[in-house]
Structure 1
Amino acid sequence: MKKIQLYLFILLSLLTTSIAFSQPNKQKELEERRVAILSEIKQINALLFKTRGQAKSILTQVEDISQRINARENLIKVTNQQANLLTRTINDNLQKMDQLRKELKELKEDYAGMITKSYKSKSEQSRIMFLFSSENFLQAYKRLQYMKQYAKQRKKQGESIKEKAELLKQLNNDLIVQKKKKEVLIKENQAEKAKLKKEKLDQERLVASLKKDEGTFASQIKQKKKEADAIEKQIEDLIRAAIAKSNSENNNNTTTTTTTKSTTFALTPEAKALAANFTSNKGKLIWPVEKGVVTENFGKHQHPQFPNVTTNNNGVDITTEPNAKARAVFKGEVMQVQQIKGANQAIYIRHGDYITIYRNLAKVSVKKGDKVSTKQEIGTIYNNPTTGKTILKFYIYRNDAKMNPADWVYKM
């Protein structure tokens, strides 16, 4: 029974220690997320709302404000988590302080008893007499050792009291700091909630305007979707043609035959090494712009205002600053510079059997066959004079298979 109790005590101690260590790490992680979201909101404000005089369609305004609302809701969620974690930490510290006070009280009582006993012993019999009254040398030696141990124990008790008192003081100071942090977070949250409430009212007003002419706007969205699908098809056709051409050239240069109808690149040893290097950098690729915010994610999306309309994005849309430069996310070779009808220019960079595509460029600064390095500027992104937005369409393919850029680019 005693063994079971001992095991339970050890297990509980380990669990408590684990929680104590994990909380600061979790708080740090949440703070990093909070800072990142604040930065995102700042970028959204700068990139989507800075041109106040710009004439925007109602649909564009709804999309912009929805972007900011989503970011602000995430911020509120994270700050709530931070406040809750601080509450748990404060409660833990209060329990520790209570336990320390009890231990300190016991130590002081023991120490007081020890001092009293020592005083009485000193008054009744001096240390020398205590030694001289020994019956033999061995007894005198043992008494001397006892006196030394007693003095050492007194000193140890005194130091222990001092340590406990210091720890209690530190916990109390930590508690004050934690409570202040919590108060700041609560105030920030209240301010963000007020902003969110206003933004949602603005959104509702805009959506109400949309609903008045829902048919027209839905038709516009569907037309844009049709145009986007046509562009995506052009991209996929070009990739398949490039694979076929590359494999055909490889067949002419090697004894190994690869079918030109294959949907995968036949790789040279150098290309295999480059592809492997690209793969190993998954989640660590740089952003294709210096500053920007993702305004449309990869994959299929149901339109928030028109549930019957579904859009699909084979890459991501990144809104950035006017005159911003697109940059290569990884070293490779320019496979193609394409003029897409109704979509400006696009650059295809090959990295073994991977392809990164940078679309909606007003100007390009590379040509087919150029070797590019990571972070190299390759073109200027087109700025739409109607919306005032500068949006890079960014894609990642492996052979002819679409990849989600958010899985590859660092913190996208």
Structure 2
Amino acid sequence: MMLWQLNIRVFYQAFILSAISLFLLSAHVNGQDRKVNLQQEKKQIEAEIAYTNNLLDKTRKNRQSSMEGLAILQQKIRQRERLVNNIKAELVLIIQEIDETGDSIFTLTVELKKLKEEYAKMIYYANRHRGSYDRMVFIFSAEDFNQAYRRIKYFQQYSAYRRTQAVLITSTQDALSLKELKLERQKAEQQNLLSQEQEEKDQLEFEKGDVDRTIQDLGQKERKLKTDLRAKERAKAKLDKAIADIIAEEIRLAEERARAAAASTTTTSSGFALTPEEKILSENFSNNKGKLPWPTERGVVSSTYGEHQHPVLKRVKVKNNGIDILTSEGEYARAVFNGEVTRVISVPNYNNVVIVRHGEFLTVYSNLDEVLVSKGQKVTTKQRIGRVYTDRNENKTELHFEIWQAKELMNPAYWLAGK
């Protein structure tokens, strides 16, 4: 083997092992990032399920099925389904990691075999020519000084190559052992995830059965459900009228301010005449669509925006102008953006209602027990504006929240930040 061939061989083997290590490290880092994200998401979902279970326990204190309890159960099923999907995604990731580790073990095994075969040949050659006399004869039989020098360098490089081979064999064996241990851990993690997935699926099936039983139980109380629904519809009509009157009054007052300020105001397409400061506030509110904080720090959406089928009563539809949020007793409602309190009113079945104006936008916080703000007061994002009312008979604490752009209703789901 020529001197230059030895150098190339050493460089090639070192390069191959380095390339394998870098590739595996890159794949490991990317996989770890995805795994960390999935595990963080799992912890968040598990915390949400724990909170939902706590709300459900409090709602069930009277040992009777309720619409609120049904809403919480349905929310818990959605959370459980997210958790199952999260575990499935983590399983896909661990399977990919197991495949990658298996591939690296195969590559290292092949490389180790080659290294050992080459090293065995080198030892055999060295044993055959180990005598110093043979080396000296080989060197002094050179045709000239330069050839003799190259032969000396050859023996030196060959010795260095043997040492390098020994180091490469040792490092490759170590790397292979680590990969085999890693593979064992990954397979154990896979089995653990499979067990978790099955447990969550079993729990999901049980919770779906719980929903069916609750719907069946509530179906036997049809008369009471219809009576309660009619009462809520009457209360909703009063709240809608109060809000419509307030918005009309706000537009009228804005027009009066506009006439007094003349050219310094801007009238929006929705009919609001805004001062320069109100225009900026309105634009800032609009620019934060999809990023607004929730009106309660914690809670479960018990009813979404719009018209939908009643979950129990057949051929009955209900309409919600906003969203309803079930939360813990003692929880506070908070402003979703900077603004000014434009009204604090009382509405039957909705208790105290606070309306905050943000330029041409208005946010409505209904069913408050204690109000912490007053008309004309400036509020900031996440500032507490009142404590949510707790119904002792039904063991529920529920906030009703709406968003308006002048006279037009907005779907809060499009405006609030995702949970």
TM-score category (smaller protein): 0.7 to 0.9
**TM-score of the pair, normalised by structure 1:** 0.81
The one-character-per-residue Cα deviations of 1:3-50 (angstroms, maximum 9, x if unpaired) are xxxxxxxxxxxx999987654444333323222221111111112313
Correspondence 1:338 to 2:337: no
Alignment of 1:87-102 (within 5 A): 87-102=95-110
CA shift in 2, pair 1:334/1:130, >3 Å: farther
Alignment of 1:365-380 (within 5 A): 365-380=372-387
**TM-score of the pair, normalised by structure 2:** 0.80
Please say if residues 365 and 401 of structure 2, whose CA atoms lie closer than 8 Å, have aligned partners that are also in contact.
yes
The one-character-per-residue Cα deviations of 1:221-240 (angstroms, maximum 9, x if unpaired) are 46534643553453344334
Correspondence 1:82 to 2:101: no
Correspondence 1:182 to 2:178: no
Q: Which runs of 5+ in 2 are unaligned?
A: 1-22
Correspondence 1:234 to 2:215: no
Cα offset, 1:379, TM superposition: 1.0
CA RMSD of aligned residues (A): 3.4
Which residue of structure 2 lines up, in the alignment, with residue 270 of structure 1? 277
Opposite residue 187 of structure 1, the aligned amino acid is S
Please say if residues 238 and 347 of structure 2, whose CA atoms lie closer than 8 Å, have aligned partners that are also in contact.
no
Partner SS state of residue 58, structure 2: coil
The one-character-per-residue Cα deviations of 1:146-176 (angstroms, maximum 9, x if unpaired) are 3444344444434433443333333323323
Task: Provide the rounded CA distance (Å) in 2 between the counterparts of 1:126 and 1:50.
Answer: 94
Q: Which runs of 5+ in 1 are unaligned?
A: 1-14
Please say if residues 69 and 200 of structure 1, whose CA atoms lie closer than 8 Å, have aligned partners that are also in contact.
yes
Q: Which of structures 1 and 2 has the bigger CA Rg?
A: 2
Alignment of 1:184-203 (within 5 A): 184-203=192-211
Cα offset, 1:384, TM superposition: 1.1
Percent identical pairs in the alignment equals 36
Please say if residues 247 and 258 of structure 1, whose CA atoms lie closer than 8 Å, have aligned partners that are also in contact.
no
CA shift in 2, pair 1:150/1:268, >3 Å: farther
Correspondence 1:35 to 2:43: yes
The one-character-per-residue Cα deviations of 1:282-309 (angstroms, maximum 9, x if unpaired) are 4443332233222233334333334533
Aligned length: 397
Cα offset, 1:390, TM superposition: 0.9
Which residue of structure 2 lines up, in the alignment, with residue 7 of structure 1? none
Q: Which is worse superposed, 208-217 or 329-338?
A: 208-217
Q: Which is worse superposed, 117-126 or 377-386?
A: 117-126
Please say if residues 55 and 72 of structure 2, whose CA atoms lie closer than 8 Å, have aligned partners that are also in contact.
no
Q: Which is worse superposed, 162-171 or 43-52?
A: 162-171
Please say if residues 235 and 350 of structure 2, whose CA atoms lie closer than 8 Å, have aligned partners that are also in contact.
no
Alignment of 1:82-231 (within 5 A): 82-123=90-131, 130-214=138-222, 217-218=225-226, 220-221=228-229, 224-225=232-233, 227-228=235-236, 230-231=238-239
Cα offset, 1:385, TM superposition: 1.5
Opposite residue 294 of structure 2, the aligned amino acid is W
Which residue of structure 1 lines up, in the alignment, with residue 67 of structure 2? 59
Task: Provide the rounded CA distance (Å) in 1 between the counterparts of 2:176 and 2:141.
Answer: 45
Correspondence 1:289 to 2:296: yes
Task: Provide the rounded CA distance (Å) in 2 between the counterparts of 1:32 and 1:199.
Answer: 24
